[in-house]
Structure 1
Amino acid sequence: MARKSSRYLLDFEKPIAELEEKLDEMRALMAENAEVDLSAEISALEARVAALRESVYRNLTRWQRVQIARHPERPYTLDYIGALSEGFVELHGDRCVGDDPAIVGGFATFQGSRFGYRDRTVLFVGHQKGRDTKSRKFRRFGMPNPEGYRKALRLMKLAAKFGKPIITLLDTPGAYPGIEAEERGQAEAIARNLFEMARLPVPIVVVVIGEGASGGALGIGVGDRILMLENAWYSVIAPESCSQILWRSWDYKEEAARALKLTAADLLKLGVIDEIIPEPIGGAHRDPEATFQAVGAAIARALQTLEGIAPRALVDSRIEKFARMGVYREVPETTPSTETGSA
């Protein structure tokens, strides 16, 4: 499938876009004038573009990956659900305050047979951002209120009741920081989800598809298998906020991103995630179909691995998995021996 060109360019993508624009001009010139033969020049420029694209995207800095994870054309939760399942029925409300459109959830048939697994009913839960100004405002840029986390927990308990696996898709800049969210118990709602998700007796597969910021992401991020797209990020805090706290300025966000070790490669090394899902060159937005296939295959592998494990063993393993994170061993300091000798 041909990759779509993006209307939104990041700073480091501009040199590639300039060469692609020259390519388009040369192709247009050949199409308009049959006597002009630029085939050799076009082939050479195509090779140059491919080499530059490969060089840029295979050597991204941590901050550049953060920028790709935030790309406005990147696939969101509902895109993945639509591509990987059929018969999705969205469920609404927390039965307490109301519905939160920043988190979507419902049951669907995961089309696992496309990936060497089997079709089965699962619960999808994920953060949902908007595509335009109106929808972004409606969904608060994917930042949930407490009722969003309580809705998610209500649905997850329903899935556990009927023995259905849970797939959560993480993509949020953080939990909503408004006064009304604090008044309704934002911290308690997130903490309750962590506690309850750890004990759910069904398989839980977590996929970080974009931004994974702080408790806003972790509130639906406790699972048996943690998968992460290559250009996603997952951290206790966003680089800009970290920069603001440490340096009283957003100017050091790149340094903060490096220090936070928030990329998929970093987190795999630290044992926070279990698998990196590769993205097409240029990011998930350049070839959504290829990304959907990669994510679907990774989910199928995870579900197959978890299938047949007894509920008690599943819960024990999940709790042990998260208990291991952040554990370190102190090595006692040794005093260097001092040797005295005659002059």
Structure 2
Amino acid sequence: MPRNENRQFLDFESPIKDLIEEIAIAKKRQEKVNIGAQHDQLIQTLEDQIVEKRKEITKNLTSWQRVQLSRHPDRPYTNKYIEKMSDEYVELFGDRNVKDDKAMVGGFANLGGETVMIIGQQKGINTKMRQLRNFGMANPEGYRKALRLMRLAEKFNKPIITLIDTPGAYPGLEAEERGQGEAIARNIYEMIRLKVPVICVIIGEGASGGAMGIGVGDKVFMMENTWYTVISPESCSSILWRTWEKKEVAAEQLRLTADKMLGFGLIDGIIPEPPGGAHWDYDQSAEILKNYLLPVLQELKKIPAQDRVNTRIEKFGKMGFWEEL
């Protein structure tokens, strides 16, 4: 978790920022004047107020505010979850065809004594790393790398966990020339047929085919402050209203939050986050996610492989609403 001096705040988090600043002032005063128990009590009261304020703020967020939280610059990304959840991790690289896509990461990890293949998008923690990671937007070689790792996991009969956090697959000309659409479609086709347990978790942004390219599994979960839909609110707004100014309206109309996705039957559950969001406590976020995943893995392992495949096909085949005329 970032130190207080490096922490960034969204507009609706300003009451928390004010309380943190009060604590900083109180601590400086305590150092100068050397006041004891009375000041300690004041600081503890303010810290308790911060926790309550974090709970209060996230209780009634709009869809757009959830989108903002999912993109919070302090939010943990895939590598942070892997670091905090796993005892051992061996990262694997490259698609054995073009190159290693830094926007897609993955490898074998030890998760509570269980060896799993973890794959996910990685955005980068600063400007230089965001450019290196292409802001979490994978190229075709990223999706082919993910598929290579999934096949490797299947070869050794190891479960697969995917952590989804992307504003979409990279839409550049070179990506299209190298077969972006085919790479994503191939992953969807192959993931449906994998004979090992597959769990997908949206840990941040779940946008478009970029998310679906590693998003087909026996169980699909969303963390509390994430979103999942075919298009970002900004892009939706620019198409429908020719401006980004309607992004908040678009976010509401897209019904992209976890509770709406669960209601539509597009996901299987919502994973809670620490009060205020995952960016407030990396350790607790990872612990919650790990404790959620392990029992599900054990349940899936009890189901025969072909039954899992058939259920997966049936589950995704039923999604959506349509009318035949």
- Which TM-score applies when normalising by structure 1? 0.88
Could you list the runs of 5+ residues in structure 1 that have no partner in the other structure? 112-118, 333-343
Rounded Cα–Cα distance in structure 2 between residues aligned with 1:142 and 1:26: 40
Q: CA deviation at 1:41?
A: 6.1
| Residue in structure 1 matching 2:251, options 254, 257, 264 | 257
Question: Is 1:77–2:71 an aligned residue pair?
Answer: no
Rounded Cα–Cα distance in structure 2 between residues aligned with 1:147 and 1:44: 52
Question: Is 1:102–2:110 an aligned residue pair?
Answer: no
Worse overlay, 68-77 or 181-190: 68-77
Deviations 1:208-244 (A, max 9, x none): 1111111001100000011111111111111111111
Alpha carbons of structure 1 residues 205 and 27: separation in structure 2 relative to 1, 3 Å = same
Is the 1:16–1:49 contact (alpha carbons within 8 Å) kept by the matching residues of 2? yes
Rounded Cα–Cα distance in structure 1 between residues aligned with 2:94 and 2:108: 15
Could you list the runs of 5+ residues in structure 2 that have no partner in the other structure? none
Aligned 1:180-329 pairs, distance under 5 A: 180-327=174-321
Question: Is 1:149–2:143 an aligned residue pair?
Answer: yes
Deviations 1:105-146 (A, max 9, x none): 1112222xxxxxxx2221111101111122111110110000
Alpha carbons of structure 1 residues 319 and 4: separation in structure 2 relative to 1, 3 Å = farther
Secondary structure at 2:170 match in 1: coil
Is the 1:122–1:164 contact (alpha carbons within 8 Å) kept by the matching residues of 2? yes
Q: CA deviation at 1:39?
A: 6.9
Letter in 1 for 2:25: E
Secondary structure at 2:245 match in 1: helix
Is the 2:184–2:210 contact (alpha carbons within 8 Å) kept by the matching residues of 1? yes
Rounded Cα–Cα distance in structure 2 between residues aligned with 1:103 and 1:163: 22
Q: CA deviation at 1:48?
A: 4.9
- Aligned partner of 1:130 in structure 2 is 124
Secondary structure at 2:297 match in 1: helix
Letter in 2 for 1:21: E
Is the 1:4–1:287 contact (alpha carbons within 8 Å) kept by the matching residues of 2? no
Is the 2:101–2:141 contact (alpha carbons within 8 Å) kept by the matching residues of 1? yes
Deviations 1:26-80 (A, max 9, x none): 3432443256956776666556544433321211111111111111221111111
Is the 2:195–2:309 contact (alpha carbons within 8 Å) kept by the matching residues of 1? yes
Rounded Cα–Cα distance in structure 2 between residues aligned with 1:92 and 1:41: 51
Secondary structure at 1:250 match in 2: coil
Aligned residues: 323
Give the greater-gyration-radius structure (CA). Answer: 1
Is the 2:51–2:275 contact (alpha carbons within 8 Å) kept by the matching residues of 1? no
- Aligned partner of 2:59 in structure 1 is 58
Rounded Cα–Cα distance in structure 1 between residues aligned with 2:107 and 2:49: 46
| Residue in structure 2 matching 1:139, options 133, 144, 152 | 133
Rounded Cα–Cα distance in structure 2 between residues aligned with 1:323 and 1:13: 41
Secondary structure at 2:288 match in 1: helix
- Aligned partner of 2:33 in structure 1 is 33
Name the Cα RMSD after superposition: 2.2
Aligned 1:86-97 pairs, distance under 5 A: 86-97=87-98
Alpha carbons of structure 1 residues 18 and 311: separation in structure 2 relative to 1, 3 Å = same
Identity of aligned residues (%): 54
Worse overlay, 222-231 or 13-22: 13-22
